A and B are shown apart, each in its own frame.
Chain A
């Protein structure tokens, strides 16, 4: 009875101690340890039954006390009679023989017990072997132990699945992260591409604008160069013509002066002859020759001719003087200097010369009133300033012509000097400049003139000459009453503002 009671206690202690962990290694170690301790065994081992690919089984130790380094059972020697691998039938045969007791010598006993559905439990006793009822009593505990081991295996599978799931989730997160990063990178690349594309487009547009601008500048420059070249050619031509005209005009003028003197002498002699004839004998009046002469004088209106000739000579003399003046103005206007050289020049003289040259353009439509103030010479390129004066005077003349018809308008030119700057104002009584283009009047190719009458470059060139080349100012005002006023301001010394 005591033995039974003791066994029940021990079985209770074993049953409480086993199956306390879902880790197969820990559970098997604890379980084997408690079996050995409480059943007073010398050694033990738990074998797991594993299925082979061929559909059979083989046994593999999962825990051995004492320790086992390899996969072989520590009881390999005692288990020699038992195969390592089984067919299902062989396994069934072995199971039918369990529990099995193998004796080794007189004092060592190996008990092979079944862990149903899991494997085997091997317990080694020395000297004092189990009594048979002890082995029989272990059945329920062994079943419980097998269940707990199988639960460990299931838990292992679940944990493995859980670990796999966690690993996959982690990989998924990492890959999602990587994908997100890639998308971000792609987004940034696309952003950069868009920016680059934008910059390219902008550069292209800027380039196109610059090409258009540059083309326009080149066209403008080309046109200016053409005009300047033309002006230079015209100037040279005019200078050449003036020079060529100067000599014949001079000797005609000189000869005319001599002719005037000679004619005066001849007139004196003629008057003397006529006086002598008047004083002749009346018989002389019957002289047919004399009568015929007198009749011819009357028919030729010699008296009128004689009285008109001095006036003709006087008018011719004035004409010669004017021709000489024009030639001189042309020569001065188109004096062949280096066009890039700044020299000191009196702009009043430039205006006067320009007025002479342009007279033919304005004389039918406008009166010119000049108010040229005291003016020191200023450092400039005279040809270019004359060109500006000419442009402004011609523009005024054309403007007046368009509005005034047969009646004459007024071009008022005023100069003055103030604070080391020379000023020139050209005002006209034309219609003024339309409001919508006032801000663009210095742009090249802008013209309100009829086709063929203007290039649209006059004011642009003038602006370039005054502002860019002479560091001056060219402004335009359009008073409410009509007309326009252009004012030129240039420093006395080039390089100053």
Chain B
């Protein structure tokens, strides 16, 4: 990838680095990772995006990663040397849309597709259905990497960057004939469970073992931390105690509770199916950093034999940053591959597969992609 970085976060700078990057003769498409703090809005940015005469895709994230540095403002423009085909799926919260059919119609069969970048509005309500449909189409014959865009303000707003402009409540799929290796790991450990999800509505857990979800959660957290969890400190406490959906002989899928509802329900980033079993997880700096390191190692190990990656794309959950705080630097250092350029985004949910397991929408997980040609 041909990477250019702007640390100012202005539209003018964006326009400038877009122009610089696409002017590179090898560049056939752009991936743009920008910060929410840039304040990009359709009115100001759409002109730049629409004027771009090569395919572009990307998103606005809480923060972005550049080397071992985490940027809260600025933009990364990565030039792809293989031309991506970008498809947009609108209405990612609409319960009436059959994403299988939408994707089946929009995405052609192609043996040349090796890597699929997937970015979604992190606050859309049917991300899991979309991801499941994506897997139904491609299976695991390709590598997926991406995540949820959006703002830590938890307000849904235009956050996807495309040639059509900034989009909200949408998803984008960029297929590209690009070599990659993906590593996924989270480092969270089960502290209590399993609990049966006796009632849920998409990403809101209403009851666990027929009791209000918060009541169960509260008891476990208090017992483990010795601290009361209340409405006021919910966000701070919850980032340390995510849920885990179990899979056979694999890391569980993390679900990050970010909102306590008035009726005692817990709303997560990502769906929690009714009648599934979940655990309450906890982690520490060491386990999380180790997991990031593991993900990086897997990605490098699974990178196509005979090829050498030139870029490491690190899609890490913003909640891990919030949890690790200053220790997050350790996580970045654990991911760095000296031979590649490290870029990435701190996302609201991560999308990835490792070619050996089901494609999932993860939370609080470190996804590392080794990219190259």
A residues whose Cβ falls under 8 Å from a Cβ of B: 3, 5-7, 9-10, 12-13, 16-17, 29, 33, 36-43, 65-67, 69, 74, 107, 125-128, 130-131, 134
Contact = CB atoms under 8 A, between A and B. Distances in A.
A127 B139 contact: no
Contact of A40 (B104, B139, B194, B249): B249
A9 to B, nearest CB: 4
Band of interface residues on B: 20 to 34
A434 B111 CA distance: 122
A16 B194 CA distance: 16
Contacts of A65: 135-136, 139
Interface in B85-100: 100
Contacts of B109: 69
Shortest 7 CB-CB contacts between residues of A and residues of B: A66-B139, A126-B356, A16-B275, A9-B277, A42-B140, A40-B250, A37-B358
A42 B357 contact: yes
A349 to B, nearest CB: 115
A7 B250 CA distance: 12
A70 B276 CA distance: 34
Residue of B140, B248, B356, B360 ringed by the most chain A CB atoms within 10 A: B248
B97 to A, nearest CB: 15
Residue of B194, B273, B275, B276 ringed by the most chain A CB atoms within 10 A: B276
22 contacts: A5-B194, A9-B246, A10-B277, A12-B275, A13-B276, A17-B275, A33-B132, A38-B247, A40-B249, A42-B139, A43-B139, A65-B136, A66-B135, A66-B138, A66-B140, A66-B141, A67-B138, A126-B140, A126-B356, A128-B249, A130-B248, A131-B249
A66 B137 CA distance: 5
A38 B360 CA distance: 11
B269 to A, nearest CB: 18
A37 to B, nearest CB: 5
B355 interface: yes
Contacts of A74: 139
Interface in B332-373: 355-358, 360
A74 B194 CA distance: 36
A67 B247 contact: no
Contacts of A13: 273, 275-277
Nearest to A128: B249
A67 B276 CA distance: 26
Given A67-B136, A67-B138, A131-B249, 8 more contacts: A5-B194, A6-B246, A10-B277, A38-B247, A66-B137, A66-B138, A74-B139, A126-B357
Contacts of A9: 194, 246, 277
A275 to B, nearest CB: 166
Contacts of A10: 246-248, 277
A3 to B, nearest CB: 8
A13 B252 CA distance: 14
Given A13-B275, A126-B355, A127-B356, A29 B247 contact: no
Contacts of B355: 42, 126
Contacts of B137: 66-67
Nearest to B357: A40
Interface string B302-326: 0000000000000000000000000
Contact of A33 (B136, B141, B248, B356): B136
Contacts of B135: 33, 36, 65-66
B136 A39 contact: no
Contacts of B194: 5, 9
Contact of A7 (B136, B141, B248, B356): B248
A67 B104 contact: yes
A17 B248 CA distance: 16
Contacts of A40: 247-250, 356-358
Contacts of B275: 12-13, 16-17
Contacts of B100: 29
A12 B249 contact: no
A134 B356 contact: no
Nearest to A44: B139
A23 to B, nearest CB: 13
B356 A42 contact: yes
A285 B357 CA distance: 202
A131 B250 CA distance: 13
Nearest to B142: A66
Nearest to A15: B275
Nearest to A10: B248
Contact of B358 (A12, A16, A41, A107): A41
A125 B246 CA distance: 17
B135 to A, nearest CB: 7
Contacts of A128: 249-250, 356
A74 B137 CA distance: 12
A13 B197 CA distance: 10
Contacts of B250: 40, 128
Residue of A6, A16, A126, A130 ringed by the most chain B CB atoms within 10 A: A6
A328 to B, nearest CB: 123
A29 B248 contact: no
Residue of A12, A36, A131 ringed by the most chain B CB atoms within 10 A: A36
Given A40-B358, A67-B136, A17 B273 contact: yes
A16 B274 CA distance: 9
A131 B249 CA distance: 9
A165 B326 CA distance: 71
A38 B249 CA distance: 9
Interface in B121-138: 132, 135-138
B98 to A, nearest CB: 10
A247 to B, nearest CB: 130
Contacts of A67: 104, 136-139
A12 B140 CA distance: 25
Residue of B141, B355, B358 ringed by the most chain A CB atoms within 10 A: B358
A159 B275 CA distance: 30
A131 to B, nearest CB: 8
A37 B140 contact: no
A67 B132 CA distance: 12
A446 to B, nearest CB: 96
Nearest to B190: A2
A105 to B, nearest CB: 12
